[in-house]
Amino acid sequence: MDVVTLIPRLFRTEYQKIVSVLSNLFGIKHIEIAEDIVSDTFLSATEVWTLRGVPENPTAWLYTVAKNKTRNYFKRSNTYEQKITPELAYRAQNQGYEIEVDLSEKNITDSQLAMIFAVCHPCNPHAAQIALALNLLCGFNVNEIADAYLTNREVIYKRINRAKEKLKEENIAIAYPTEQEVVDRLDSVLKTIYLLFSEGYYSTSQDVALRKDFCTEAMRLVYLLIQNESTNLPQVNALMALMCFHASRFDARTTESGELILYPDQDESLWNMELIERGGYFLNQSSSGQALSKYHVEAGIAYWHTKKEDTVQKWTHILALYDSLLLIEDSPIAALNRIYALSKVNGKQEAIHAASKLTPLDSHLYYALLGHLYTDVDNKKALAHFRTALDLAKTAGDKTVITGNMRQLSAAL
């Protein structure tokens, strides 16, 4: 793999790991030092690997350089006592400036768990917690987070910086979460990971339909929570089940050239049965509690989508689950998906009537749904809706699908 391809991939998977370890070492007040050191490590990788070639173990190379840069930072800084915690300064003095940077798998895992619960502290508004966690723990840049929130980069940039400053003001410790901290912050943690997976499963920030690296990272973070006794809770298992069911259809969702394949046209033989079985396992694990989260319901919907047969019974189950989901969270996208399920159960006319009661969305998904519902009912209206959807679509994959529907309708008129 060439440097141009490898560096962004390693940045996505390793940046937040090293930042978490160094932030745990320095404390929340000096998180910028950790970010600067890690950013400089990746800059060095780009320069050195371009000239000398990619090393045999790129990740080990990054870890070694990050350790050395951390030690060198203290060696050349005459004011390190003022920039780090007194405990670390004392250790640095007594160890001859040889700061120990533990990048073992266990310490990375512990540091990330501590870091994500620090980032999701309730001293910050909920949206700020999620934006900061996406940036520091998941490797999203400001533009990608802005796309996820459907806002501009300046808003997200200010939100992230204000969130960092608030954590510093409150002197929030990066430490293993207590039982109460898990109760207070787990919702923010799960929403962060859910957004990360969603961005990978259906990318809006880049002109691609699927970014497996985002989804893999999200699943890794959830598994980190499952492996920890205090966070191995029903809603966490439900989120993992949801991700497994969706991830099982990765290979069937796009063509070799990257074009999106809609669910009814997917080749079932390409579905990953092992992931479907794992999803069933985690869904069973999630049934131990009393509370029903949105992740339970969405996992149930995703489960039924692993049953390829197109039966009224299947869609009746899905419709009931969407009704439950809308009671938990009144989401416009969930409302659109419910109407599609309604069309499969009670027919397009009833679904069209239900769609007419929705507030129109400035989204291609809304008009693409209307185009589907009016197909073979009023093809002229269907074509008009698809034209609007095409104007609003952002990705090449969406535009290709909409264009294909329009071509079929034009031929039928």
Q: Are 410 and 386 in contact (CB under 8 A)?
A: no
Residue 341 lies in a domain: no
Distance between CA atoms of residues 338 and 325, nearest Å: 9
Per residue in 205-226, pLDDT tens?
A: 555 556 777 788 889 889 999 9
What pLDDT sits at residue 92? 54
Minimal CA–CA distance to 167: which of 66, 26, 39?
26
Residue 242 CA to its chain's centroid (Å): 13
**177, part of any domain:** yes
For residues 108 and 224, membership in a common domain is answered with yes
Of 187, 191, 204, 125, residue with least CA distance to 160 = 125
Amino acid in the structure at residue 279 = G
SS3 category, 207: coil
Q: Is residue 328 part of a domain?
A: no
| CA–CA distance, 307 with 413 (Å, rounded to integer) | 34
302 and 287 in contact (C-beta within 8 Å)?
no
Other C-beta atoms closer than 10 Å to the C-beta of 190 total: 23
Question: Is 262 inside any structural domain?
Answer: no
Residues of the chain with pLDDT > 70, as a percent, come to 91
On whether both 226 and 115 belong to a single domain, the answer is yes
Whether 8 and 52 share a structural domain = yes
Does 6 map to a domain? yes
Same domain? 49 vs 80: yes
Sequence-separated (6 or more) residues with CB below 8 Å from residue 330 = none
Using an 8 Å Cβ cutoff, are 109 and 224 in contact? yes
Residues 222 and 115 occupy one common structural domain: yes
Q: Tell me which residue of 88, 111, 98 sits closest to 23, measured CA to CA.
A: 111
AA letter at 23: S
Question: Do 47 and 155 sit in the same domain of this protein?
Answer: no
Output the CA angle 250-193-58, nearest 5 degrees: 75
Residue 400 has a CB neighbour count (10 Å cut-off) of 16
- Give the CA-trace dihedral at 259, 264, 267, 268, to 10 degrees: 140
Same domain, 97 and 114: no
Residue at which a domain ends, from 213, 232, 251: 232
State how far the Cα of 38 lies from the Cα of 66, in Å rounded to an integer: 6
Which pair of structure tokens corresponds to residue 171? 């002197």
Structural contact between residues 112 and 224, judged by C-beta atoms closer than 8 angstroms: yes
- Please give the C-alpha separations between residue 355 and each of 369, 370, 382, in angstroms, as whole numbers: 9, 8, 14
* Cα–Cα distance measured from residue 280 to residue 274, given in angstroms and rounded to the nearest whole number: 10
Same domain, 13 and 110: no
Tens digit of each residue's pLDDT, the chain (413 residues): 789 899 988 988 899 899 999 998 888 888 999 999 999 999 999 999 999 999 999 999 999 999 999 988 877 764 445 555 555 555 555 555 467 889 999 899 889 999 988 988 889 988 788 888 888 888 778 887 787 666 789 999 999 999 999 999 998 989 888 888 888 889 988 988 898 888 778 765 555 556 777 788 889 889 999 998 889 999 999 999 999 999 999 889 887 766 778 788 888 999 999 999 999 999 999 998 788 999 999 999 999 999 988 899 999 999 999 999 999 998 899 999 999 999 999 999 999 999 999 988 888 999 999 999 999 999 999 999 999 999 999 877 788 889 999 998 887 77
The total number of structural domains that make up the chain: 3
- Domain residues for the domain of 110 are 104-232
Residue type, position 1, single letter: M
Residues 209 and 116 in one domain: yes
Domain boundary among 67, 85, 103: 103
Question: What is the chain's length?
Answer: 413
In a domain, 334, yes or no: no
Q: Are 346 and 369 in contact (CB under 8 A)?
A: no
Contacts of 393 (CB under 8 A, 6+ apart): 364, 399, 402
Instruction: Decide which of 59, 78, 103 is a domain's last residue.
Output: 103
- Same domain? For 186 and 84 the reply is no
Could you tell me if 228 and 109 lie in one domain? yes
- Looking at the fold, whether 51 and 88 belong to one and the same domain comes out as yes
Give CA–CA dist 46/212, Å, rounded: 23
Alpha helices for 248-347 (secondary structure H): 250-253, 273-285, 294-304, 312-328, 332-346
